[in-house]
Amino acid sequence: MFTFANPLVINLKNYTEISGDNSLKIAEEARNVLLSNHKDIIIAPPPSSIMALSKTKVPIISQHVDDAPLGATTGFTIPEIVKSHGAIGSIINHSEHKIEHSQISNLVKRLRELDMISIVCADDLEELKALSQFSPDYLAIEPPELIGKGIAVSKANPSIITNSVQMVKSISPTVKILCGAGIVDKIDVQKALELGAEGVLISSGVVKSASWHNKILELSSVLN
Ligand code: G3P
């Protein structure tokens, strides 16, 4: 099982900027940064590029997995197949791809059996509390109203991070807390870590930046 102290998880989503060969270019930039500073940088590309990007040797996770069986199933993204393509884990229940709690529970277990990491997302403290019972490797608090807005959760709503850490650690002490939404610079990452987050999820702040290399270098520089 891979472990990451303070991961910077870069979710490429389905932005035009990463279409075609560009997803490979961003992963190569991440690899160059990672080789220079040895920080915990993870990329979450669309399922179709997992195999190509995993060849860069940057840790790759899926943006989503379905709780569909291996075998005669069509159009689903399933843990066993993404693992075979080089993914080392998956985001589950992202705000832009919500699933049933019963499926989250199954997928956390299934990923663990495959030695893959699970990053389960929650929109608010109520959902976070409910999802703590599944003890994923990471729980990520991401207020949907701040996603893609460029105003960091660590600045706009610092108490949601401190409250998340306090609540999750009291229910399931081994689960690591990540946060995301609106993060754009290293001050935002630093603040998130000071508030108790153990890593961050970011998308538009990297994907839409002028220089992928410089932005990934900047953001990862403040990770432990
Ligand atoms: O998965 C991370 C994401 O939802 C945050 O998006 O664009 O606000 O960094 P963004």
Report the number of distinct structural domains present in the chain: 1
Cβ burial, residue 38 (10 Å; 0-12/13-18/19+): exposed
Predicted pLDDT of residue 3? 84
Task: List, for residues 81-131, the tens digit of each pLDDT value.
Answer: 999 999 999 999 999 999 999 999 999 999 999 999 999 999 999 999 999
Ligand 1 centroid from CA 148, angstroms: 6
Is 75 part of any domain? yes
pLDDT score for 1: 72
Mark the ranges of the chain whose per-residue pLDDT is less than 50.
none
| Dist. CA 191 → ligand 1 center (Å) | 16
User: Is there a domain that residue 70 lies in?
Assistant: yes
Q: Which residues pair with 214 in a beta bridge?
A: none
Is residue 142 annotated as part of the catalytic site, yes or no? yes
Q: Which two tokens stand for residue 16?
A: 């035009």
Residue type, 80: E
Report if pTM > 0.85.
Answer: yes
DSSP label at residue 215: H
- The continuous run of DSSP H or E covering 195 comes out as none
Quick one: which atom of ligand 1 is closest to the CA of 202?
9
The predicted structure's pLDDT at residue 2: 80
On whether residue 3 sits in a domain, the answer given is: no
CATH label of the domain that carries residue 101: 3.20.20.70
Q: Ligand 1, closest atom to CA 142?
A: 4
Residue 15 inside a domain? The answer is yes
Given this model, what pLDDT does residue 224 score? 84
Q: For residue 123, give the DSSP letter.
A: S
Domain that holds residue 26: 8-220
